[in-house]
């Protein structure tokens, strides 16, 4: 397992592309970058009246924005992650090997539904509040850890105590632009870790960071996806424009 902070060097290297940005949409829940393909990242849950660089990003090459991934400005880091994903994900060979998950009653919960037989009775921690998770509370000991907790959630500081004791950890890929990824991965080293969400870059190198499974998305309908994001959609993107896929990893290589 390598230094998890190196994920930023790795992703910025992948973002060294001259492909020009065609469009960026910063929706209420999702940010979308369209270049040669489409990349997503969860939008910051931080209100702002304006952004100083609005109206200047189209036609810039991806590489001009990729370094923003290191920025502590949440909007810059989000745009960078979406832009890097627009380079990595459309042509990733990993997606060809990943299995398409059956659509659950709530499509955003397909990953949890898939693993449910393995999770029963286990100590499970989930980084990020996924709508509908409450239905699984009788099946397992589930701890939801949130930067902005609601009643029933644990605050981010609880990660230091809960993750080392967890048998499974479901880690949102939004932890990468939020800069929490390195510490959360370190704390989860004794658990089976699933890195998940539309923010996920499909990269085999995550195995070397201690990730056991990748659970990301493919774009099934780009027109509907764009409309849903622009109209403020959240989990509805799973009904209109994307589908979850899953790939198991092992240290240094793919599981066959």
What is the per-residue DSSP string for 31-79? EEEESSSEEEEEPPS---S--TTTT--TT-BHHHHHGGGG-SSHHHHHH
Specify whether 131 is located in the same domain as 170. yes
Mean pLDDT of 112-124: 92
On whether residue 232 sits in a domain, the answer given is: no
94: left (phi over 0), alpha (psi -120 to 50) or beta: alpha
Structural domain range at position 33: 4-91
Query: How far apart, in whole angstroms, are the C-alpha atoms of residue 200 and residue 41?
Result: 8
Q: Taking the alpha carbons of 58, 69, 174, 215 in that order, is the dihedral positive or negative?
A: positive
Class of residue 148 by CB neighbours under 10 A (exposed 0-12, middle 13-18, buried 19+): exposed
Mean pLDDT of 185-208: 96
Specify whether 244 is located in the same domain as 140. yes
Mean pLDDT of 135-154: 87
Structural domains counted in the chain: 2
- What pLDDT, on a 0 to 100 scale, did the predictor assign at position 225? 97
- What pLDDT, on a 0 to 100 scale, did the predictor assign at position 1? 56
> Minimum mean pLDDT among 7-16, 92-101, 131-140, 176-185: which range?
131-140
On whether residue 67 sits in a domain, the answer given is: yes
The CATH number given to whatever domain includes residue 160 is 3.40.50.11590
Specify whether 105 is located in the same domain as 76. no
What percent of the chain shows pLDDT beyond 90?
Answer: 77
Closest CA relative to residue 225, chosen from 212, 238, 209, 216: 238
Among the candidates 66, 91, 116, a domain finishes at 91
Give 141's Cβ-side CA count (13 Å radius): 9
**What would the pLDDT profile of 41-94 be if each residue is shown by its tens digit?**
999 988 888 999 999 999 999 999 999 999 999 999 999 999 999 999 998 999
Query: How far apart, in whole angstroms, are the C-alpha atoms of residue 199 and residue 78?
Result: 9
Angstrom distances, CA of residue 150 to CA of 129, 135, 153, 154: 9, 16, 6, 8
Specify whether 33 is located in the same domain as 86. yes
The pTM of the full predicted model, rounded to 2 decimals, is 0.93
On whether residue 204 sits in a domain, the answer given is: yes
Specify whether 61 is located in the same domain as 139. no
Q: Is 110 helix (H, G, I), strand (E, B) or coil?
A: helix
Specify whether 116 is located in the same domain as 174. yes
Q: Confirm if 107 and 238 have CB atoms less than 8 A apart.
A: yes
Place of tokens 């060809």: 96
């Amino acid at each position: 397992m390598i230094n998890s902070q190196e994920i930023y060097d790795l992703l910025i290297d992948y973002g060294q592309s001259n492909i020009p940005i065609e469009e960026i949409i910063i929706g209420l829940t999702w940010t979308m970058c369209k270049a040669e393909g489409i990349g997503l990242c969860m939008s910051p849950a931080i209100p702002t009246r304006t952004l100083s660089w609005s109206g200047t990003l189209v036609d810039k090459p991806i590489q001009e924005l990729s370094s923003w991934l290191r920025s502590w400005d949440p909007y810059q880091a989000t745009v960078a992650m979406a832009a890097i994903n627009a380079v990595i994900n459309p042509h990733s060979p990993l997606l060809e090997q990943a299995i398409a998950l059956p659509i659950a009653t709530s499509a955003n919960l397909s990953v949890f539904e898939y693993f449910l037989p393995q999770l029963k009775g286990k100590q499970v921690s989930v980084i990020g509040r996924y709508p509908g998770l409450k239905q699984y509370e009788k099946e397992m000991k589930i701890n939801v850890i949130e930067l902005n907790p609601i009643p029933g959630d644990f605050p981010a500081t609880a990660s230091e105590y809960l993750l080392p004791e967890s048998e499974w950890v479901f880690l949102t890929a939004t932890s990468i632009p939020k800069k929490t990824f390195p510490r959360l991965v370190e704390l989860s080293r004794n658990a089976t870790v699933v890195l998940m969400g539309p923010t996920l870059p499909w990269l085999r190198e995550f195995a070397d960071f201690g990730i056991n499974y990748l659970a990301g998305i493919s774009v099934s309908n780009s027109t509907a996806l764009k409309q849903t994001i622009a109209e403020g959609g959240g989990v509805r993107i799973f009904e209109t424009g994307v589908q979850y896929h899953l790939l198991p990893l092992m240290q240094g290589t793919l599981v066959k």
